[in-house]
Amino acid sequence: MYSICLIACQTNTSKQDSSTTGYLKHQTVPDSDTENTLKLVYTGNMGVCLEYDDKTVIIDGLHEYYDKPYVYPPETMVNQLIKGEFKDFSKIEFCLFTHLHGDHFSGKYAKQYLESSDEAYVIGSSQLMKDVVTLHTKLDSMSSRFFPVPYNKKAHSFNATGIKIEAIQCDHTNPKRHNKTENIAYLVNLGGYNILHVGDTDWSLTREPVKTLDIKNKTLDIAILPYWLLLDDSDISQVNDLLAPKHIIATHIPPDFSKRDQKELRERFSNITLLMQLGEVHYFEK
């Protein structure tokens, strides 16, 4: 049984020397000894399932067909993930969604996940809760395992054994069109690895939340970013000044992303992985 608590808190004041950042050891075939290794599997668009030991967190990973430029997981893969039967990934403790757009979130799958276990927890904006609620038949029993993130520019913490999650407002890209869409950024600590997932956003909208999360004074191991934050040479300083991650994971990549563009990203950032093949698995070690 997990003890879950929701605390609205101000900036974490613990300091760490950011000059100690280096590279993570990254492999696509694991060593025989995977102790201390962080695993990541790509579940389409910005979807990743992360696991350390038997602690598993999925972010934007349960979604359905939305439109042609978006990779999405087939139902069999979703069922395996929900049951903890996908490759060597175990059951998911937390399912996080950055926002309600269909290339990031499926109310149907969120409901299936909540129904799969009494120890399944979903975190996301309250907007997403409304969508899930409309699909719920047994809302009362499950809503206690659905944690809405207040959209108030403060960091909100969720803790369970071996997993620490901080969630914060990080507005959706193109506010003119999407100003009503609440987008949440997540900082997940899994087995001592700090992983940031920002959802659909832009650098200008990321600055404040990242400062509130005090990312620069924590050592960020992995930054999971939409690819459009990485397309220009000026983005190098944005990445370094705001996040300084040991490793970058580029996501939201359309299936027709050209070889030339892929090469350009790899040349611009030496510590980058482009997620393009559904189900591809990556192993990281400090």
- Where along the sequence are the contacts to Zn ion (CB under 5 A)? 101, 200
Beta strands in the chain (DSSP E): 5-9, 25-27, 38-42, 48-52, 55-59, 94-96, 121-124, 146-148, 155-160, 163-169, 184-190, 193-197, 222-226, 247-251, 272-274, 281-285
3-class secondary structure, 207: helix
Q: How far apart are CA 275 and CA 128, in angstroms?
A: 25
The minimum distance between CB 139 and Zn ion, in angstroms, equals 26
Nearer to Zn ion, 2 or 257 (CB): 257
The minimum distance between CB 102 and Zn ion, in angstroms, equals 9
Do 5 and 158 contact (CB within 8 A), yes or no?
yes
Do 186 and 197 contact (CB within 8 A), yes or no?
yes
Nearer to Zn ion, 93 or 200 (CB): 200
Nearer to Zn ion, 149 or 190 (CB): 149
Q: How far apart are CA 135 and CA 58, in angstroms?
A: 21
Its sign, for the CA torsion 273, 202, 62, 53, is: positive
Nearer to Zn ion, 56 or 183 (CB): 183
The minimum distance between CB 270 and Zn ion, in angstroms, equals 29
The minimum distance between CB 12 and Zn ion, in angstroms, equals 27
The minimum distance between CB 172 and Zn ion, in angstroms, equals 6
Nearer to Zn ion, 101 or 247 (CB): 101
The minimum distance between CB 175 and Zn ion, in angstroms, equals 12
Nearer to Zn ion, 67 or 256 (CB): 67
3-class secondary structure, 235: helix
